[in-house]
């Protein structure tokens, strides 16, 4: 075969693949789409994606079904999606914790190879709080640090959704910053962790707003510091870490959608467009904002770059502090 003929054959193959992908996207979707949530039902990611899924369904003309597959700090659900067919019908709620978990398991992460990022959806409202009875009278960061250091032999216990979870590393970051004698207790699900927090077995915690909203309002939990750059309507009197002079403990916990690696670009683009439209709908926006989530739309390549940057940042913290996986 002559070199010219080989060249034409390659061009024909590329052209056919482009035509095939475009035709696939035109027919897509023709059946329900699943979003896998690698966390338990009722938690913040579940609330976020159920709202977004409803908006996407209207745009795409097919049901968007939410399926929870919790465990192993998001790895069970994420691995399930990664092994699924790259056809756009099985998607992942990708949270910051999954990136950290990969590093703790000795796995590298490249958003452009390991997954097919679609769009960032929100940044969760994350804050430091204390048990109001266990730390009676503590309402500020200075009081929290003073209380924790009053008896250096006494360890204060805090919980998170697992070793390497975003909330674990956020609290570890605060403990290191203020030289606190803290002990991490990982939990497999949110309900027993919240129960232990309210009973006083845990005395401080970093978490998102959704699981503690009722207890903040009732006074059982006292919010101390917002870990984002801006104050929030949900807790307008609570200062940010930046206001208190500690921007280095700010934590961004993002949620977005990804597909299995190899999903055709036209399908990813259609899904990204569906997310963008969904986030403009009041019935989607309002439930997210009420739960303290800040809508941050970022699609495809831009989202992939943000994921890789987040992975590098947290892996440095993990390595510098000798944090090990389960």
**Does 1 map to a domain?**
no
Count of residues in the chain: 326
Residue 215: closest CA among 195, 187, 237? 195
Rounded-to-integer distance, Cα 59 and Cα 278, Å = 8
Query: Do 234 and 260 belong to one domain?
Result: no
DSSP state, residue 76: H
Residue 225 is assigned to a structural domain of this protein: yes
Assigned token pair, 20: 């095939």
**Among 249, 273, 306, residue at a domain's last position:** 249
Q: Which helix (H) or strand (E) holds 196?
A: helix 190-199
Q: What span, in angstroms and rounded, lies between the C-alpha atoms of 247 and 241?
A: 5
pLDDT over threshold 90, residue 52:
yes
In CATH, what number is assigned to the domain containing residue 99? 3.40.190.150
Is the pLDDT at 64 greater than 70? The verdict is yes
19 and 99 within one domain: yes
Q: Which two tokens stand for residue 299?
A: 């699609």
Name the domain boundary from 215, 249, 283.
Answer: 249
Q: Could you report the per-residue pLDDT of 7-33, keeping only the tens digit for each?
A: 455 454 444 445 554 566 689 999 999
- Of 127, 126, 124, 100, nearest to 46 (Cα)? 124
45/184 same-domain check: no
Residue 136 and residue 49 share a domain: no
Indicate whether 325 belongs to any domain: no
Average pLDDT, the chain: 87
Q: Is the pLDDT of residue 325 over 70?
A: no
Identify whether residues 160 and 184 lie together within a single domain.
Answer: yes
* 3-state secondary structure (DSSP) of residue 239: coil
- The answer on 183 and 257 residing in a single domain is no
Give the pLDDT score at 16. 46
H helices present in 41-120, as ranges: 44-60, 75-82, 96-104, 111-114
Which of 116, 154, 119 shows the shortest CA–CA distance to 134? Answer: 154
How many domains does the chain divide into?
2
Does residue 26 sit in the same domain as residue 116?
A: yes
Query: pLDDT per residue over 123-179, tens digit each?
Result: 888 999 999 999 999 999 999 999 988 876 667 899 988 888 888 889 999 999 999
Q: Are residues 299 and 212 in the same domain?
A: no
- List the domain range (segments joined by +) for residue 33: 7-124+253-320
Q: How far apart are CA 289 and CA 139, in angstroms?
A: 25
Q: Quote the pTM value.
A: 0.82
One domain for residues 236 and 312: no
How many DSSP H helices and E strands does the chain contain?
12, 11
**How confident is residue 271, by pLDDT bands cut at 50, 70 and 90?**
very high
Give the count of beta carbons closer than 10 Å to the beta carbon of residue 173: 20
**What DSSP character marks residue 245?**
T
Contacts of 162 (CB under 8 A, 6+ apart): 72, 73, 97, 101, 168, 186, 187, 188, 326
- Give 191 or 225, the one with higher predicted confidence: 225
Q: Is residue 276 part of a domain?
A: yes
Q: What does the pLDDT look like over 276-307, one tens digit per residue? A: 999 999 999 888 888 888 899 998 999 999 99
Classify residue 275: in a domain, yes or no.
yes
- Based on the domain organization, do 167 and 244 belong to the same domain? yes
The pLDDT of residue 22? 57
Same-domain check for residues 102 and 178: no
Structural domain contains residue 277? yes
Question: Would 28 be classed as within a structural domain?
Answer: yes
Check residue 252 and give its pLDDT: 82
Q: Are residues 220 and 310 in the same domain?
A: no
CB 120 within 8 A of CB 298: yes
Domain boundary pick from 249, 271, 300: 249
Look at residue 235 in the predicted model and tell me its pLDDT: 94
- Asked, for residue 236, whether it belongs to a domain, the answer is yes
Question: Cα–chain-centroid distance for residue 285?
Answer: 17
Sheet holding 294-299, edge to edge: 64-68, 33-37, 90-95, 254-260, 115-123, 294-299
Question: Using CA atoms, how far apart are residues 309 and 303, in angstroms rounded to an integer?
Answer: 10
- Which SS3 state, helix, strand or coil, does residue 226 take? strand
Domain CATH code at residue 226: 3.40.190.10
φ and ψ at residue 246, rounded to 5 degrees: -130, 60
C-alpha 187/C-alpha 192 separation (Å) is 7
């Amino acid at each position: 075969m002559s070199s010219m003929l080989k060249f034409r054959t390659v061009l024909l193959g590329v052209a056919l693949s482009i035509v095939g992908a475009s035709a696939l996207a035109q027919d897509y979707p023709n059946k329900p789409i699943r979003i896998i949530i690698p966390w338990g039902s009722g938690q913040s990611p579940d609330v976020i994606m159920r709202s977004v899924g409803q908006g996407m369904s209207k745009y795409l003309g097919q049901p968007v079904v939410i399926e929870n597959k919790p465990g192993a700090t998001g790895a069970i659900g994420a691995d399930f999606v990664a092994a699924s067919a790259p056809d756009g019908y099985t998607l992942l709620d990708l949270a910051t914790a999954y990136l950290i978990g990969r590093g703790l398991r000795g796995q590298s992460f490249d958003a452009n190879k390991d997954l097919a990022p679609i769009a960032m959806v929100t940044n969760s409202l994350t804050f430091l709080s204390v048990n109001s009875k266990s730390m009676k009278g503590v309402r500020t960061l200075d009081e929290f640090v003073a209380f924790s250091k009053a008896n250096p032999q006494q360890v204060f216990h805090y919980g998170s959704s697992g070793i390497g979870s975003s909330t674990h590393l956020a609290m570890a970051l605060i403990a290191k910053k203020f030289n606190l004698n803290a002990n991490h207790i990982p939990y497999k699900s949110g309900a027993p962790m919240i129960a232990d927090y309210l009973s006083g077995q845990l005395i401080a915690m970093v978490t998102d707003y959704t699981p503690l909203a009722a207890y903040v309002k009732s006074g059982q939990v006292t919010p101390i510091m917002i870990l984002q750059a801006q104050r929030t309507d949900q807790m307008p009197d609570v200062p940010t870490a930046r206001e208190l002079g500690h921007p280095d403990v700010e934590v961004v916990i993002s949620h977005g959608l990804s597909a299995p690696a190899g999903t055709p670009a036209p399908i990813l683009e259609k899904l990204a467009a569906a997310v963008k439209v969904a986030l403009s709908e009041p019935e989607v926006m309002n439930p997210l904002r009420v739960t303290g989530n800040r809508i941050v739309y970022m699609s495809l390549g831009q989202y992939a770059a943000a994921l890789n940057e987040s992975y590098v940042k947290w892996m440095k913290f993990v390595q510098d502090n000798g944090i090990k996986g389960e």
